[in-house]
Structures are given as C-alpha cells and as structure tokens.
Amino acid sequence: MWDESSPRAVNGRAPDVFRPGAWVPMREYPEDKAVDFAIVGTGAGGGTLACKLAEHGFSVVAFDAGPYWRPLEDFASDETHQSKLYWTDKRIVDGDNPLQLGANNSGKSVGGSTVHFAMVSLRFRPEWFKSRSKLGYAVDWPLDWREMWRYYSEVEQALKVSGPLRYPWGPARPRYPYRPHELNAAALVLAEGAEALGIDWTPTPLATLSAPRGLAHPCVYRGMCVIGCSTNAKQSVLVTWLPRALEAGAEIRDLAMVGSIEHDTAGLATGVHYQREGRWHFQRARNVVVAGYAIETPRLLLNSASARFPDGLANSSGLVGKNLMVQSNQAVWGVMDREIRSYKGPPSLAITEHWNYADDGKDFHGGYCYMSQGPLPIVWGTTQASKRGLWGQDLLNAMENYNHQVGLKIVGETLPQERNCVTLSDERDQYGLRIPRVTYAFCDNDKRLIAHSLRFMRQALEAVDAHDIWDEDDDTCHLNGTARMGDDPSSSVVNADCRCWDIPNLWICDGSVFPTVGGVNPSLTIEAIACRTADRIKAMARRGELSRS
Amino acid sequence: MRRLPAVKSRRVALASLQEIAGSLSEKYAPGKAVRTRVPEPGGNVGRKLNFSSALLSFSVLADSGLEHYRGSFQNRLMYLPLAVSAATLAASLFGIVDGRAKSHVVRDGLYGLAALTGATGLGFHGYNIVKRPGHLSWINLFYAAPVGAPVALLLAGVLGRVAERVRDDEASTLLGYPAGEVLGAVTSAGLAGTVAEAGLLHFRGAFQNPGMFLPVVVPPAAAGLLAMTLFRSGNVVRRAAKLGLGLTALLGFVGVGFHAYGVSRNMGGWRNWSQNILNGPPLPAPPSFTGLALAGLAALSLVERNKKAGFHD
C-alpha cells in the first residue's frame, strides 16, 4: 500500500488518473542539463502552463510539494480524511482579520487546489480589467478583456464546463461545451428568492461533467464536491491539463518542495533547489516559473534572497508579498419547512451575479456574486458551534435541521491594500525553510460590501419563507495578489506576460499576479492567464526574445 | 391451443421485420425488377398497427416505470401511465393474435383510454415544467418532467384506434380520408415529436458521442419521406420512405445498445446497475422509434392497397 509520502512519478511513469492502479509513461529530464522551463506548482496556473508550454514544444519539469493522486482510489467520501488535500503546513496569521488557512484557499497536491475546488468557473466582468479607468477604484490590469474572452473560451473547452445556454450578464459568450446540471433544492431556493426580488439568476457554470467525457464519468450528484472527486467528474487540473502535459513530454515531480531559486552573476535565474525524499536537489533551467499561489509564491521569492537581491527576487518595486486580496465569503442561513438536503449534488448549482454587474444601489466599490450552498456535516456542525456560538442542546437542535437548512453565500471583491501582505517569519518548517506570516484586515469598503450582501441575501431568504435566519459574517476564501501584474515596473512585479520586470527569465503564473480580484471565483481566470502566457512565450521564443542563462 | 397465439404474434412480428429487411434489400439491389405484391387485407395491416401500439406501450410502461419510480411516485397519478400502458400492451398483444378482421370493443376502449391518458400526461408534464423557477426555460425542459414522453402513450392509443378502424372498414377510410394517408400523417407527426424529444435530451448530453446524432438525422428523413408520399405518388419516393422507415425501425433496436453502453459509462458501470439504469440514458426510450416506423410501413402498405384497388376498379 502506498503511504502517500513517497513520490509516485518516478522511473519514467506517472499515475494514470483514470484507471485504478495503472500508470502512464512520463518523460524524465536529467537535473544537470537545463530544461527550458522549471515550473514551481502544478495547480490552476502552473499545471495549465506546463501543459501548454509542453504542447508548444518546450522541455518542461513541473514541481509540486503534494502527492500525485489517483482520484478513483485515493479519495474517501470523508471530510476528515480529505483534509490531506489542503496545505496545512505551519504558518502565522495576524492582522485585524486573521485568515483561516487550509480548506478553501489552499491545496497541496499535484493539480493544486483544483483537486478539491468547488468547480465554479466564472468569467471576470469585462470592466474589472480596467476597474480604475472604468469603475473608479483600485488599479487597471494590463490585459484587454476581449483577448481574455478568447482564452476563457479555450479553458472552458479544456474543462468541458457545463453552463447555461444564455448567460444573463455581460457580453455574449460562446455556448458552454456541456449543458447545465439539474438544480438541487438548495439551488431552487436561490432561484425563487431571486425571482421574488426581481433579479436574474442562472445555473452556475461548473467544471464538472454533465455527460461522459472519455474515461471520466459524469457527475453522480453524490455531494462531497468540495473535497476530492472520486468519480473524476470534477475537471481539475489533475485530470485535464496534466494528462495532456505528460502526453506532450512534460515531467511532473511530485512530493518535491522547491525551497529557493538560484541565479547567476548576471542576475538571471539558473534553476531551482528542491527537496525530495529528504534530500536537496538542484534542477537547472533556462527559465523558472513560480506558480505556488498567493502565499507560497511570495514566500519562495522572498526565501530566494541573495547578496544581489537582498529583498528577495523580483522585488525592486517592494511589492512582492503586498496587496494580498482574499475574497469575502459571508453567508446568510435559514431553515425551510420542506426538506432541502442541500448536500446533494455540487454545492453551488445556482448563482446570481446581479451585484457584480449592477452599479446603482451600492455604497461600495467592487461586486459580489452569491451562490446556493451545501455544507458537509462536519463543516456545518463546526459552523454552528464556532460561528453561531451554539453548544449543547441548542447545537443538537440546530443539527436536527440539517436536511432543511439553506444558505446563500457570497464570493465578494476586496480591495488591494499594501498592509495586507505575506512576509517571512523567523520560524522554520519541516524543510528548514522560513515560514510565511500572513497579515490581513478588511478595509471599510470591504465591510460595506459585506454588509450590503448580508442585507440583500437576508431579503432573498425571507422572500421564500425561510425562518431562523442568521448571518455568518466572518468567512473568507480564495487568495490573490502579492505579485501583481502591471505596465509600470515601479508599481508591479510582472508585466502582462507574467514576466518579472527584474529578472527576464523568471515568470510568475498564478493568482498572485491579479491586480484586483473581482467578485467571482478565480480559477478560470488563472487558467486563462496561463494559456495566454504560454502563447506569449511561444511568440517571444520565435522572435528570439527569451533570455538564455 | 394455448401456444398458438404466441406463435402467431411472433409471426406478425417476424413479418414486420421481414418487411424491413425486404425494403432494405430492395434498396440495395436496384437492378432487380420491383416485386409486385398482393395488397394486404385490412386485418393484417390492423395487426401490424397493433404491433406498433404494443412497442410504444411497452416503451411507455418501462420508461414511465423507471422514471416515475425515480420520482418516488410523489403524485399518485404517476401510477396511472403504468396501469394504462400495461393494459394497452395487453390489448395490443391480443390484437396481434386476433386474426378476425373486426375491431374489438375492449381493445378500442383501452386505446381510447391510452390516448386520453397520454393527453392528460402531457398537461401534467407541461405544468411540471412551467411551475418551476425559470418556468419555460432550457433547464426545465432538460430536467423537469419530459414533455414528449406522454405523447408516446397518446400515439399508442391513436395507432391502436386506427388499427381497429382499419380492421372494420374495408374501404379503409378514416374521418372520410384514405386511411393510409391519415396514418402516414399521424406517424410523420409522431416521429417528428419523438425526434424533438431525442434531440432535446441528446443536446442535454452535449452530443458527446457522435452516435447521438443518429436519431436526429435518420428518423426525420424517414418522416419527411413518409410525408412526401402523401403528396407525391410514385415508386421512388415510396421506396425511399420504406428504406428510411426500415432504418428508423432498426435504430430503435440499435439505440437500446447505445444506451446500454451509455449506462456503462457512468461511475461503476453495469456493476452498479441499480443506480446507473436510473441515471444513464433511458434503455426503453429508443424502441418508440421502431413502433412508429412500423406504423409508417403499415401506412405505406395501406396506401399501396388503395392504389391497387383503385387501379383494378
């Protein structure tokens, strides 16, 4: 039996994610010969980029600190067991609103947090790419929404996203590759509430299959969707981009923790130091891509500080680790007389993006969407105890209503603030690396957005005759920022192509590059940026614009 | 004596299949002289239609049984189509073995009941769609009660009623029109509706397997050709219609195989049959095409008979 602590992707083969116990061939590269790209992280950013770069003909080695799972045999339908998918290494959190890190904002697996993500696949509102110029807050992205629209389509095809035939908001988009899923009772409650309040709603675009796809089975609506999907319906990076990457000749190194990036005297990156099976190794590379998400990416850049770059790599702007943005994740819960069983099927089957697209009637900048919910029992019990403060008989009584409870929960935009940041503490982890300190506080605008959403969602639940309504007012999700992209080297870390201003063969490709975060789940945008970056790198290579170390 | 009905019914079923095979072989041997056939007596055509009704009501019995079981028989009326389609199936089997060239009051009554139940079901399913949030929308057409399903029972009833009329009426007219043409029109419309239903559900499945295009290509062609025979005389159109209907009938069988494969592609495959038969593509749905295609072939033989009769007069 595999003990989950020894690498599986070795000896020229990697686990076959579609067949229990099976393997697929994998190309391997020697450490002492420079590969075109060493990619740190195999999640939404790194995994997608590894696939696209390999398909463009580059030699690629992608590292991940987590294990290489076979979903069909490694994922039990058990919340506690599945916490093995989260990044639970030691970190320090502080600030006015210290973040709870783990379940809904990290992943330590090949495939990253997409292995357990809720599959919600939304496009940015076009104006958000120019939120300073068009909407008057935060900063502009250096990207054009029309170009992003094309890359969104590419990702939606790659993930066979199931979505509605007509999306009620924003400019026209092509038809989703698969049809929407059947709505569960919790989603119908959202729909009824939205119709009662006179706003649009729609079945949520989800990256889980509503029909068979190759060896992947369609969704069986068993729930357990915010943990690992044991049927392969969930279109994670692990089962979509990575099989393609292997096919195209990429190597994946699982259980390989990258500790620092090496550079030469000219200031160009030369490769990465990584720990695997208790030993430190060095992989030479012509280009290094950091794709560790909003905490591990700045941590690696800061941990790679050298005499030449004493403040960490790519940090001449001083912005590495700054402008961390969470998304607010507040909810309103209630009880319906009729049975709901909200845990059946994917948890967020219905959505309204009304307050992402409406600009009137707001006392805040930014937007939020809200979706129907289906919390699993342990999370629900914990929420009742820790967020609502129930205990003893009161807690038991509340849990008796589990089959009748409904909830609406936002994914809300927060503004970038330099005081929200990732820095290094002096403590060290099991790899001997300095651990990150994550500092976070909502600003007044964030708080006004949250208050608005709680008021509105309460009305929506009241409109459908829910009772025992209460607010869960302090949850957060998704992390972004900390290495923002921009047009100006003094106010950003990377350019529009995710290329570091300071070190031209160092790239950052994950949610860290977001200048603003919008009111939608970020994974689709991260994957779209990765696709664009790969195409840009290919074009630059053709023109001879990639530097060589 | 007791074995005789079974043998007879098998013979009628075989005759229908032979007709399909015959029309196929005719098509693929264009150099051969066209066979002249003795026009069939009304009783034979009637029994063929009883066979169509039997297939359709079997399809309804199995399909509504599965789907209404899946819906936990939440409304007591959900038992009704099971009872009525079972009775219609029994009446049709009786019709198949009944060699007398006369209608039967029990069969006739049951077919009327089937048509009425089908029409009522259509109302219920329609209401189920529009009462949900989103009302008349794609998501409700995909997942609320299927609007086309009760029509199969309606068609089983209508075809059965036609079967009985054809047995009685030597001149073979219906509502004052030639029976073959009325039946052809009914069958074309029924095929169109069934195609719409298959098209809707295969669209829901994103046509993920190219085979899913077959029922939205072959039967519409057959229905179109059958409708053309109403307006154009001539062997070419009629033979093409026969070929199309033959292929459609065949598709009803092949479709069950495709759907069985579809069931296997769900988590656990056939080992998990108790869940996947409910979750996968419906096994009993495709035979509706066979039932309707056989009705179409019966319509063509009625048209042929009328033409022959007219010629001899």
**Over the stretch B171-182, which tens digit does the pLDDT of each residue have?**
578 888 888 889
Between residues B5 and A350, the one the model is more confident about: A350
Nearest CA in chain B to A180: B139
CA dihedral of A166, A168, A174, A175, whole degrees rounded to 10? -30
Query: Does residue B1 fall inside a structural domain?
Result: no
For range A305-318, the mean pLDDT: 96
For range A345-372, the mean pLDDT: 96
Q: Indicate the pLDDT class of residue A106, thresholds 50, 70 and 90.
A: confident
- Which residues in A lie closer than 8 A to residue B132 (C-beta atoms)? 188
Contact A179 B266 (CB under 8 A): no
Please write the tens of the pLDDT for every residue from B144-163. Answer: 999 888 999 999 999 999 99
- Interface contact A165, partner B, CB < 8 A: yes
Q: Indicate the pLDDT class of residue B305, thresholds 50, 70 and 90.
A: confident
Chain A: closest CA distance from residue B100 (Å): 49
Q: Which residues 72-111 on chain B approach chain A with CB closer than 8 angstroms?
A: none
Contact A268, A504 (CB under 8 A): yes
Sign of CA dihedral A236, A242, A88, A422: negative
Query: Does residue B127 fall inside a structural domain?
Result: yes
- Interface contact B138, partner A, CB < 8 A: yes
Run of H or E including A508? strand A506-508
Chain A: closest CA distance from residue B273 (Å): 13
Average pLDDT, chain A: 95
Given a cut of 50, whether residue A184 has pLDDT beyond it is yes
- Interface contact B208, partner A, CB < 8 A: yes
Chain A: closest CA distance from residue B145 (Å): 12
Query: What is the spatial distance between Cα A471 and Cα A460, in angstroms, rounded to a whole number?
Result: 13
Query: Does residue B36 fall inside a structural domain?
Result: no
Contact B208 A217 (CB under 8 A): no
Contact A110, A43 (CB under 8 A): no
β-pairing, A13-15 vs A23-25, is antiparallel
Query: What is the spatial distance between Cα B105 and Cα B103, in angstroms, rounded to a whole number?
Result: 7
- Interface contact B270, partner A, CB < 8 A: no
Sign of CA dihedral B176, B179, B180, B184: positive
Query: What is the spatial distance between Cα A428 and Cα A441, in angstroms, rounded to a whole number?
Result: 25
Query: What is the spatial distance between Cα A371 and Cα A377, in angstroms, rounded to a whole number?
Result: 19
Of residues A166, A192, A220, nearest to B266 (C-beta) = A220
Nearest CA in chain B to A196: B133
For residue A129, what are the domain limits? 13-542
β-pairing, A434-439 vs A325-328, is unpaired
For residue B81, what are the domain limits? 16-23+42-312
Of residues A160, A203, A231, nearest to B139 (C-beta) = A203
Query: What is the spatial distance between Cα A475 and Cα B121, in angstroms, rounded to a whole number?
Result: 47
Q: Indicate the pLDDT class of residue A103, thresholds 50, 70 and 90.
A: confident
Chain B: closest CA distance from residue A49 (Å): 27
pLDDT of res. A43: 96
> In total, how many domains does chain A have?
1
DSSP per residue over B180-229, as a string? Answer: HHHHHHHHHHHHHHHHHHHHHHHHHTTT-SGGGGGGGTHHHHHHHHHHHH
| Residues of chain B above pLDDT 70, percent | 83
Contact A180 B138 (CB under 8 A): yes
- Interface contact A217, partner B, CB < 8 A: yes
Query: Does residue A431 fall inside a structural domain?
Result: yes
Please write the tens of the pLDDT for every residue from B181-226. Answer: 899 999 999 999 999 999 999 999 999 999 999 999 999 999 999 9
Which of these ranges, A37-46, A163-172, B81-90, B301-310, has the smallest mean pLDDT?
B301-310
Query: Does residue B285 fall inside a structural domain?
Result: yes
Residue A413: which CATH number? 3.50.50.60
> In total, how many domains does chain B have?
1
Given a cut of 50, whether residue A549 has pLDDT beyond it is no
Contact B267 A213 (CB under 8 A): no
Given a cut of 90, whether residue B4 has pLDDT beyond it is no
Question: What 3-state DSSP class applies to A130?
Answer: strand
Q: Indicate the pLDDT class of residue B32, thresholds 50, 70 and 90.
A: very low
Nearest CA in chain A to B132: A188
AA identity, residue A410: I
Please write the tens of the pLDDT for every residue from A443-483. Answer: 999 999 999 999 999 999 999 999 999 999 888 899 999 99
Query: What is the spatial distance between Cα B23 and Cα B238, in angstroms, rounded to a whole number?
Result: 10
Query: What is the spatial distance between Cα A82 and Cα A59, in angstroms, rounded to a whole number?
Result: 33
* Complex ipTM value: 0.91
Query: What is the spatial distance between Cα A311 and Cα A302, in angstroms, rounded to a whole number?
Result: 7
Chain B: closest CA distance from residue A178 (Å): 5
Query: Does residue B144 fall inside a structural domain?
Result: yes
Nearest CA in chain B to A222: B267
Longest C-alpha distance within chain A, in Å?
Answer: 70
Query: Does residue A334 fall inside a structural domain?
Result: yes
Q: Is the pTM of this model over 0.95?
A: no
For range B240-253, the mean pLDDT: 96
Question: What 3-state DSSP class applies to A352?
Answer: strand
- Which residues in A lie closer than 8 A to residue B262 (C-beta atoms)? 212
Of residues B133, B204, B279, nearest to A179 (C-beta) = B204
Contact B164, B143 (CB under 8 A): no
Nearest CA in chain A to B261: A212
- Interface contact A163, partner B, CB < 8 A: no
